[in-house]
Chains A and B, each alone.
Chain A
Amino acid sequence: MKKSLKARNNDIANTSKQLEILSNGIFANGELPTFAEKIKETNQFPLRPKKLEILQINLGYMCNQVCEHCHVDAGPDRKEIMTKETMQQCLNIIKKTAAHTLDLTGGAPEMNPNFRWFVEEAAKAGIKDFIVRSNLTIIRANKKYYDLPAFFKKHNVHVVSSMPHWTRGKTDKQRGDGVFDKSIKALQELNAVGYGMPNSNLKLDLVYNPSGAFLPGDQKALENDFKKALLADFSINFHQLFAITNLPISRFLDYLIASDNYEDYMHSLLDAYNPAAVANVMCTNTISISWDGWLYDCDFNQMLNLKVASKVKHVADYNEELLQNRNIIINQHCYGCTAGAGSSCQGVVA
């Protein structure tokens, strides 16, 4: 099994090293404008939050997969896991906030030993859209997870699952050998309890992100291709496909540099820069909470250890009014969310 950058003591595991790469080179020598300079052109600097709609909670970096592109640098060797005490602090926020979406992510969030307790408690709080980001293979990883589809159904969880391609080769190359077959089996099991079926209220969406140094194509066209192939080959149904651009941080940044694609990729993001996407980037309506309770503008800033620019920085001191008064922290990785039709955890934004 491959290891995380952290377990390999790779330089890139250090967030200050990543920020140094993103701030120097082509952005320091004037070849490309920084993200701040770019959004100043359309008077969108500083980037400010709008109404809070989504609370994204990272339950830990532990994962049963070690995907090539993972911006979390997750894997079986990562031991960071949210404690029950921090979960309780999150529940206090969920009960108070007017945000309509709760988005649980990881790692594999299901691997947190208190995952089920947290889902049960959070489900009682009356959130409109309750998302769990599942890598699918966790459902087939161990007997103790086999009943997850039924558990999700019981709490009407909206399942959002990673699936990089409808072919085995591309999927396994990005996510590891055997991932495709296990993912197909897991999708079939989710379908069997009603998830993803055409008229079902049990929402099953897929997340596509490119398996290399290129941007995602049109989300609707990809969704049609995925639907056609998965139905024809495996009788699998799902609702929507979210196309997400890989951001140049963590393992994907390491890959870009090692494959000599970093500068070309940043040029591609710049060439596809869409000022209309800036207004709707996910950090404007989301707060991201890390496994240890720190607050971030988005999951990517979390992985770069860029905490919110606010007096309130931790769930223990959560104050939505104060948080709404902050400026969002940006850097060159933000070009990933503003390329083409834009990119967010909920797919395109423009």
Chain B
Amino acid sequence: MSKNYYDAADLRKFGKITEWSEELGSKFFDYYGKVFEEGALTAREKSLIALAVAHTEQCPYCIDAYTKDGLQRGVTKEEMMEAIHVGAAIKSGATLVHGVQMMNKVNKLEM
């Protein structure tokens, strides 16, 4: 029998985290729901941001959820992939920009 740390069906149980801490869980879901409401950004734009972050965070549940959410909103696969590239660019940029710290350290330590 194969065992995995991640089970796609667990996403449906997400709401149950309130069962072991109702107050904090409920506060989280209230906040979460509010964040994704239509605001200065459209719900569609927020969905694409969430999809990009889902990838940089490497959360398989979030990837499933926001891929489906995007499809429901009529988002195209080209738009989804572009969003992921934005996330990937920031992620790789964030890694690379630390190279400056490395360069600073090398310059400081080397004669």
Contacts and interface: CB of A to CB of B under 8 A. Distances in A.
A333 interface: no
Contact of B71 (A169, A214, A226, A267): A214
Interface stretch (A116-124, A130-138, A215-223): A215-223
B34 interface: no
Interface in A189-222: 208, 210, 212, 214-218, 221-222
Contacts of A170: 76
A271 interface: yes
B60 to A, nearest CB: 15
A167 interface: yes
Given A221-B43, A271-B12, A212 B71 contact: yes
B16 interface: no
Q: State the main secondary structure of chain B at its contact with A.
A: helix
Contact of A214 (B12, B43, B44, B72): B72
B76 A167 contact: yes
B85 interface: no
A271 B68 CA distance: 14
Interface in A261-281: 267, 271
A225 interface: yes
B44 A169 contact: no
A217 B12 contact: no
A229 to B, nearest CB: 9
A307 interface: no
A221 B73 contact: yes
B39 interface: no
Nearest to B72: A217
Given A169-B76, A170-B76, A221 B12 contact: no
Contacts of B68: 214
Closest 3 CB pairs of A and B: A217-B72, A217-B73, A214-B71
22 contacts: A166-B74, A169-B76, A210-B71, A210-B72, A212-B71, A214-B68, A215-B72, A216-B72, A217-B72, A217-B73, A217-B74, A218-B43, A218-B73, A221-B42, A221-B44, A221-B73, A225-B44, A225-B73, A225-B74, A226-B74, A267-B12, A271-B12
Given A214-B68, A218-B43, 13 more contacts: A165-B76, A166-B74, A169-B76, A208-B74, A210-B71, A217-B69, A221-B44, A221-B73, A222-B73, A225-B73, A225-B74, A226-B74, A267-B12
